[in-house]
Amino acid sequence: MAKMRRDGTNIPNIGEGRRGLEGYLLYLLRQASTAAQQAVDRTLADLGLSLAQYSALTMINSYTDLSSADLARLSMLTPQSAHEVVQRLDTRGLVSKTLSRENKRIHRLQLTDDGRSLLTEARERSERVEMVLREEAASINEAELRKWLVAVAGRLELEGRH
């Protein structure tokens, strides 16, 4: 149901007007991303995890001995945000930090047993959102969609470096 503005006109629902097929691609991509993020946040709320924290746990589990800077790059966070996420996870006992052998100012991150358990639970819950994404992509070639998303991200990141 469309929301009513003060002047009596309606704000279009997702799928209507510029929020639909007539919309700008950048807006539609952000709209889908925001909807997915909010869905994951709702799914993980009672676990005390945000999407950023869930992503961090996933990356720390996937790549051994990450630093906070590595995590920031992998999770698409600013270094400051990555540091805050790591602090919250560390306070909860979900990650441990060890000093790097090469540089004593860098801490390497690992999941604790509690972190692995929580990640398993979070992954099971977030699978519902993944399922919706796959179902909505069923009428198109999911592999091609994935290639497009990766190509766009890679190209725009590369152009941002120049």
3 found inside a domain:
no
Sign of dihedral through CA atoms 24, 28, 31, 33? negative
Domain membership flag for residue 6: no
Give the number of domains in the chain.
1
Specify the CATH number for the domain of residue 111.
1.10.10.10
Answer whether 38's CB lies under 8 Å from 126's CB.
Answer: no
- Domain with 136, as residue range(s), is 24-160
Rounded mean pLDDT of 111-127? 98
Number of other residues whose CB lies within 10 A of the CB of residue 20 = 13
Domain assignment present for residue 10? The answer is: no
Q: Is residue 89 part of a domain?
A: yes
Cα distance between residue 68 and residue 83, in whole Å:
6
Contacts of 97-102 with C-beta under 8 Å, sequence gap 24+, read 100/65, 100/67
Residue-wise pLDDT tens digits, 9-58:
888 888 888 888 888 888 889 989 999 999 999 999 999 999 999 999 99
Whether 4 is covered by a domain: the verdict is: no
| Residue 125 confidence (pLDDT) | 96
Residue 162 has pLDDT above 80, yes or no: no
